[in-house]
Amino acid sequence: MASSGAGWPEEGDLVVATVERITDYGAYVQLEEYNKKGFLYISEISSSWVRNIRDYVREGQKVVLKVLRVNTERGQVDLSLRRVSGPERREKLLSWKLDKKAESLLRSAAEKLKIPYEEIYGKAGAIIERELGLYTGLERAAREGAGVLSALGIPQNIAEALTEVAREKIKAPAVKIKGTLELQSTKPNGVLIIREALLNAQQLENLQGASVNVYVVAAPKYRIEVSAENYREAEQLLKRAADTALESITKAGGQGTFVREK
């Protein structure tokens, strides 16, 4: 995370900028992550002809731009809007917002401990950023406890203050995903075999904040529903639950299939 006034961006970087002044030939912007000025030429606003610059950008607007050239001697950064794709724009804005939130959490913890922001960043923020990613690390601390941070060598009092603040401010919404199992067994105890397979799947609740629920749709179809704090954990747990059920039914001489529902 670039702190205010830190260095210069590099050619090809995506940056978040605030449009400050618009002229007939382009727009002057403020680079939020670097505390530097930049310029967006009219030819780099759109791949089509631009009749009115204000149809594309306006004063005060936050935009994601690509760095074309950097001249540190002249203090000049040339930028492009038209070379930024939609997915790049969304990903960069999300990353920037999370960085801002993480910085706010560090400041809150510094106030709680009555120490300067620079001190908490040096003793904790820089380490978390390097090892885990700053927001990701604080999010993990909110879920798993201060041990996540103290394991990185961060002083215990700072780890505990950051965890407390993170738990107050980071509210991870539960993600729910599901899929359908079709299980069959022709053996005399087939009902028990299927029940055992489903129970084995449902017992995979070893991720904090995650759960697996299994219920009947209409035999031989059964639904697995997983709740977790993010899609990655949910997808991993759903796959493990389905694989566990299929492995169990197959070992018992039955058969099964799984379909992930969208």
C-alpha 197/C-alpha 185 separation (Å) is 11
Could you tell me the residue ranges of all domains in the chain? 14-83, 88-169, 175-261
Lookup: tokens for 136:
């990701």
**pLDDT the model gives residue 162:** 97
The model's pTM is 0.60
Residue-wise pLDDT for 209-229, tens only, equals 577 888 888 878 999 988 887
Domain 175-261 CATH superfamily: EIF_2_alpha (3.30.70.1130)
Low-confidence ranges of the chain (pLDDT < 50): 1-5, 206-207
**pLDDT the model gives residue 214:** 86
Of 2.40.50.140, 3.30.300.30, 3.40.30.10, 3.20.20.150, the CATH number of 14-83 is 2.40.50.140
CATH 3.30.70.250 fits 88-169, yes or no: no
C-alpha 143/C-alpha 136 separation (Å) is 11
C-alpha 262/C-alpha 251 separation (Å) is 29
Compute the half-sphere exposure of residue 163: CA atoms within 13 Å on the CB side of its CA.
17
**pLDDT the model gives residue 138:** 94
